[in-house]
Structure 1
Amino acid sequence: MKTPFLSRILLTLACVGLLAAPAKAAEMTISGAASLTNAFTELKGLFEKQHPGLTAHVNFAASNPLLKQIQEGAPVDVFASADQATMDKAVASKVVDPATRRDFALNDLVLIVPAGGKKPADLADLKNFKRIAVGNPDSVPAGRYAREALTTAKLWDVLQPQVIQGASVRQVLDYVARGEVDAGFVYGTDAKQQAAKVDVVMVVPGHTPVLYPIAVATTGKNPKMGQAFLDFVLSPEGQAVLSRYGFSKP
């Protein structure tokens, strides 16, 4: 049988133990378009330093697959797309808070070839190239921009026998960098990451602006940190990081 004195000691020790137990670390998840991989990886590290104890998980892929994950209930706190159409779908399916939606970066669609490789004189000259990599327009925004540009130039249907589709803009970049294709359509920021292995032929005209939106997702458990990260991306510090990776302000 415990004495009152012993009971007080045990209670005191229990309280001390509770106080000494580390608080559960806060977590959040950021889903971003593949072309944001390098910039957002740096941004998430800086953001974690500003919020000690926070672990920010990052998930990169083509915008449409990311949206599908969120629609299926993936716990995401921030969603950043490479195009407006995908974010429109996110708003329509109520997986992001429309009041938090902001445009945060601009990019260029560029035509690239393997470093030192043959360069087309213009888009029409692509008819003389055997393998041309393009992101799958059904899931990759860069592919949709490329399709729009080639359709404007009346080349999309003509080039179909030569087109090799990639699952993301980064896969298209890898195809070109490894010399597995003769040319490819990627973002200017992607080409910058492989400047030693690819040559930029031109900034591609004839498509809608490559404007990136971001919003707080509704499937996550940390919307407060989601909003804080969104604000950080839009801040002068966040915009400076994006600029270093080749993005421009909207």
Structure 2
Amino acid sequence: MKGHIIFAGVLALMLLFAGCILEPAEETKITVSAASSLTEAFTDIKTEFEKDNQNIKVTLNFGASGSLRQQVEAGAPVDVFASASESHVNILEKANLTLKDSKAIFAKNSLVLIVPKGNPLKISSVTDLKNANVTKIAIGNPETAPVGKYTKESLLKMELWDNLEPKVVYGENVRQVLTYLETGDVDAGFVYMTDAKIAKENTIDVITTVPTVTEIIYPVCIIDSSNNKKEAQIFVNYLKSETGKRILLNYGFTVN
């Protein structure tokens, strides 16, 4: 009888130990807020990241970098912020809203002038936008969308802004500008090269690359209020991994 009791106790311990081994590790969820121009690349990166890190689930939140920064300032539960402009991360850093020394540059981009397919107004340069037959030019809102800030800086340097401003149609983010061109609602517009590459087939033509005053870089940072800083850092590291770089390159970004 005593042997049966000992055996039952050992069996119970074995089952308990087995249960501990088989119990899945706790799942952690992180929220990544990212610039609209990163939509396709980050969607693919999320898929690969979750395959390689099965206990971390990623929720993606896309929008204009300035709007996303304002969400963080308002206390939104964000773990990682990837911006299309260094200025928005710098603002958060100065307000002590980012984890110290967490900022990293992970990609670069370029600005291009695009027109509806077939180029009906025969635009061949940025200067041609002054022509009287050009009446609607789409750019991002410079206050919230970095693509708009880059565009306005360039037009100011070329001494074209005062002439072109009355023709400007603002988009809340770069994807809205691209949509204006895809649907033919405007005569021309300024988007990132990466957005031009993913435009709907046979909807736009790229006219020229536009020199920018400020280099178009994409910084990422960890938000200091995050409860999942370890997992957030794993995601940031993944952006700079070979897999992350490969995906970014596939969508036309430049990586180091």
1:123 aligns with 2:126: yes
Question: Could you say what secondary structure the match of 1:226 adopts?
Answer: helix
Question: Could you say what secondary structure the match of 1:100 adopts?
Answer: coil
- Out of 195-204 and 104-113, give the one that drifted further: 195-204
AA matched with 1:30: V
Question: Could you say what secondary structure the match of 1:117 adopts?
Answer: coil
Question: Could you say what secondary structure the match of 2:101 adopts?
Answer: helix
Deviations 1:82-110 (A, max 9, x none): 01111111111122124111111110100
Deviations 1:187-221 (A, max 9, x none): 00000001622111110014211011111111222
Deviations 1:27-76 (A, max 9, x none): 00101111000001110111111111321000000001101111111111
Q: Give the corresponding residue for 2:5.
A: none
1:191 aligns with 2:196: yes
1:39 aligns with 2:41: yes
Supply the distance in 2 between the matched residues of 1:84 and 1:154 (Cα, whole angstroms): 25
In the TM superposition, 1:1-250 aligns within 5 A as 24-118=26-120, 119-128=122-131, 129-194=134-199, 196=201, 197-250=203-256
Moved over 6 A (4+): 18-22
Supply the distance in 1 between the matched residues of 2:241 and 2:62 (Cα, whole angstroms): 22
Deviations 1:3-25 (A, max 9, x none): xxxxxxxxx9xx89x96986652
AA matched with 1:123: V
- Out of 94-103 and 232-241, give the one that drifted further: 94-103
Question: Does the 8 Å contact 2:111/2:212 carry over to 1?
Answer: no
CA RMSD between the two structures: 2.1
AA matched with 1:74: A
AA matched with 1:52: Q
AA matched with 2:33: S
Supply the distance in 2 between the matched residues of 1:28 and 1:84 (Cα, whole angstroms): 22
Question: Could you say what secondary structure the match of 1:137 adopts?
Answer: coil
Question: Does the 8 Å contact 1:216/1:227 carry over to 2?
Answer: yes
Report the TM-score when normalising by structure 2: 0.87
Q: Give the corresponding residue for 1:4.
A: none
Supply the distance in 2 between the matched residues of 1:124 and 1:115 (Cα, whole angstroms): 19
- Out of 192-201 and 224-233, give the one that drifted further: 192-201
Which runs of no fewer than 5 residues in structure 1 stay unpaired? 1-11
Supply the distance in 2 between the matched residues of 1:168 and 1:77 (Cα, whole angstroms): 22
From the superposition, tell whether residues 186 and 98 of structure 1 become closer, same or farther in structure 2 (CA, over 3 Å). farther
Aligned length: 239
Supply the distance in 1 between the matched residues of 2:248 and 2:34 (Cα, whole angstroms): 13
